[in-house]
Amino acid sequence: MTCKNRWEEIKRFIHFNNNENYMPQGTVGHDKLFKISPLLRNLQDRLSLISMEENVAVDEQIIPTKSTSTIKQYNPKEPHKWGYKVLVLSGISGSSYEFYVFAGSQSNTVPADASDLGTNSIVVVKLAQRILKHVTINLSLTTGLPVFR
Protein backbone atom coordinates (compact mmCIF):
# COMPACT_ATOMS: atom_id res chain seq x y z
CA MET A 1 0.00 0.00 0.00
CA THR A 2 2.31 2.70 -1.23
CA CYS A 3 -0.46 5.32 -1.38
CA LYS A 4 -1.31 4.98 2.31
CA ASN A 5 2.35 5.09 3.35
CA ARG A 6 2.92 8.17 1.17
CA TRP A 7 -0.10 9.94 2.69
CA GLU A 8 1.10 9.14 6.22
CA GLU A 9 4.52 10.56 5.37
CA ILE A 10 3.04 13.77 3.94
CA LYS A 11 0.69 14.13 6.91
CA ARG A 12 3.58 13.72 9.32
CA PHE A 13 5.61 16.59 7.86
CA ILE A 14 2.96 19.10 6.77
CA HIS A 15 2.61 22.12 9.09
CA PHE A 16 0.75 25.40 8.65
CA ASN A 17 1.71 26.99 11.97
CA ASN A 18 4.69 27.06 14.32
CA ASN A 19 4.06 24.59 17.17
CA GLU A 20 6.24 26.69 19.53
CA ASN A 21 3.47 29.35 19.60
CA TYR A 22 0.77 26.84 20.59
CA MET A 23 -1.15 27.73 23.75
CA PRO A 24 -2.28 24.61 25.68
CA GLN A 25 -5.96 23.99 26.36
CA GLY A 26 -7.20 25.87 29.41
CA THR A 27 -4.80 28.81 29.00
CA VAL A 28 -5.76 32.29 27.80
CA GLY A 29 -5.38 32.58 24.04
CA HIS A 30 -5.97 28.89 23.30
CA ASP A 31 -7.27 28.36 19.76
CA LYS A 32 -8.75 25.01 18.76
CA LEU A 33 -8.03 25.81 15.11
CA PHE A 34 -4.44 26.94 15.79
CA LYS A 35 -2.71 24.40 13.57
CA ILE A 36 -4.74 25.33 10.48
CA SER A 37 -5.50 29.00 11.21
CA PRO A 38 -2.95 30.34 8.65
CA LEU A 39 -4.52 28.10 6.01
CA LEU A 40 -8.01 29.34 6.94
CA ARG A 41 -6.86 33.00 6.85
CA ASN A 42 -5.25 32.50 3.44
CA LEU A 43 -8.43 30.91 2.12
CA GLN A 44 -10.51 33.80 3.58
CA ASP A 45 -8.21 36.33 1.88
CA ARG A 46 -8.59 34.59 -1.47
CA LEU A 47 -12.38 34.39 -1.11
CA SER A 48 -12.55 38.12 -0.34
CA LEU A 49 -11.19 38.82 -3.84
CA ILE A 50 -14.33 37.38 -5.46
CA SER A 51 -16.92 40.05 -6.27
CA MET A 52 -20.11 39.42 -4.33
CA GLU A 53 -23.49 38.74 -5.93
CA GLU A 54 -26.55 40.80 -5.14
CA ASN A 55 -28.40 37.96 -3.38
CA VAL A 56 -26.50 36.11 -0.65
CA ALA A 57 -27.40 33.83 2.23
CA VAL A 58 -25.73 32.30 5.27
CA ASP A 59 -25.89 28.53 5.17
CA GLU A 60 -24.84 25.90 7.70
CA GLN A 61 -22.78 23.08 6.23
CA ILE A 62 -21.35 19.94 7.75
CA ILE A 63 -17.98 18.69 6.48
CA PRO A 64 -18.23 14.95 7.16
CA THR A 65 -15.45 13.27 9.09
CA LYS A 66 -14.76 10.11 11.04
CA SER A 67 -11.79 11.59 12.88
CA THR A 68 -11.69 12.26 16.59
CA SER A 69 -11.83 15.98 17.29
CA THR A 70 -13.19 18.28 19.98
CA ILE A 71 -14.85 20.53 17.39
CA LYS A 72 -16.75 17.74 15.64
CA GLN A 73 -20.54 18.22 15.76
CA TYR A 74 -23.43 15.77 15.69
CA ASN A 75 -26.47 16.60 13.56
CA PRO A 76 -29.07 13.81 13.25
CA LYS A 77 -30.81 15.59 10.34
CA GLU A 78 -27.78 15.42 8.04
CA PRO A 79 -26.95 12.43 5.83
CA HIS A 80 -23.44 12.42 7.37
CA LYS A 81 -24.25 12.83 11.04
CA TRP A 82 -20.77 13.71 12.37
CA GLY A 83 -18.60 16.47 11.00
CA TYR A 84 -17.20 19.97 11.23
CA LYS A 85 -19.85 22.67 11.32
CA VAL A 86 -19.13 25.57 8.96
CA LEU A 87 -21.32 28.63 8.42
CA VAL A 88 -20.85 29.95 4.88
CA LEU A 89 -21.83 33.23 3.23
CA SER A 90 -22.67 32.21 -0.33
CA GLY A 91 -24.53 33.46 -3.38
CA ILE A 92 -27.20 32.02 -5.66
CA SER A 93 -24.52 30.66 -8.01
CA GLY A 94 -23.08 28.58 -5.16
CA SER A 95 -19.93 30.69 -4.81
CA SER A 96 -18.69 31.07 -1.24
CA TYR A 97 -17.57 34.53 -0.15
CA GLU A 98 -16.73 33.95 3.49
CA PHE A 99 -16.94 31.14 6.03
CA TYR A 100 -16.64 30.52 9.74
CA VAL A 101 -15.59 27.19 11.24
CA PHE A 102 -17.52 26.46 14.44
CA ALA A 103 -15.06 25.57 17.20
CA GLY A 104 -17.32 24.63 20.11
CA SER A 105 -17.31 26.80 23.24
CA GLN A 106 -14.57 28.95 21.71
CA SER A 107 -17.19 30.18 19.20
CA ASN A 108 -19.55 31.35 21.96
CA THR A 109 -17.59 34.51 22.75
CA VAL A 110 -19.73 37.61 22.41
CA PRO A 111 -18.07 40.84 21.21
CA ALA A 112 -18.14 43.64 23.80
CA ASP A 113 -20.31 45.89 21.63
CA ALA A 114 -22.95 43.22 20.83
CA SER A 115 -25.79 41.62 22.76
CA ASP A 116 -25.81 37.85 23.27
CA LEU A 117 -28.16 36.50 20.58
CA GLY A 118 -26.83 32.95 20.53
CA THR A 119 -23.87 31.35 18.80
CA ASN A 120 -25.29 31.11 15.27
CA SER A 121 -26.62 34.68 15.41
CA ILE A 122 -23.21 36.02 16.44
CA VAL A 123 -21.59 34.24 13.50
CA VAL A 124 -24.27 35.53 11.09
CA VAL A 125 -23.57 39.09 12.27
CA LYS A 126 -19.82 38.56 11.70
CA LEU A 127 -20.46 37.24 8.19
CA ALA A 128 -22.92 40.07 7.45
CA GLN A 129 -20.21 42.67 8.05
CA ARG A 130 -18.80 41.77 4.64
CA ILE A 131 -22.23 42.42 3.09
CA LEU A 132 -22.35 45.89 4.65
CA LYS A 133 -18.91 46.70 3.22
CA HIS A 134 -20.10 45.52 -0.20
CA VAL A 135 -23.30 47.58 0.01
CA THR A 136 -21.32 50.67 1.04
CA ILE A 137 -19.09 50.38 -2.01
CA ASN A 138 -22.02 49.91 -4.40
CA LEU A 139 -24.11 52.72 -2.95
CA SER A 140 -21.24 55.17 -2.73
CA LEU A 141 -20.41 54.53 -6.40
CA THR A 142 -23.99 55.19 -7.53
CA THR A 143 -24.83 58.16 -5.26
CA GLY A 144 -21.40 59.60 -4.65
CA LEU A 145 -22.06 59.63 -0.87
CA PRO A 146 -21.13 56.87 1.56
CA VAL A 147 -24.25 55.40 3.18
CA PHE A 148 -22.71 53.24 5.95
CA ARG A 149 -19.63 53.79 8.03
Confidence of residue 2 (pLDDT cuts 50, 70, 90): low
* Alpha carbon distances (Å) from 44 to 47, 88, 143: 5, 11, 30
Instruction: Collapse the DSSP code of 1 into the 3-class scheme (helix H, G, I; strand E, B; otherwise coil) and give the result.
Output: coil
Q: Choose between 57 and 117: higher pLDDT.
A: 57
Tens digits of per-residue pLDDT, 37-62?
888 899 999 988 888 888 888 888 88
pLDDT at residue 93 greater than cutoff 90: no
Nearest of 117, 87, 116 to residue 102 by alpha carbon: 87
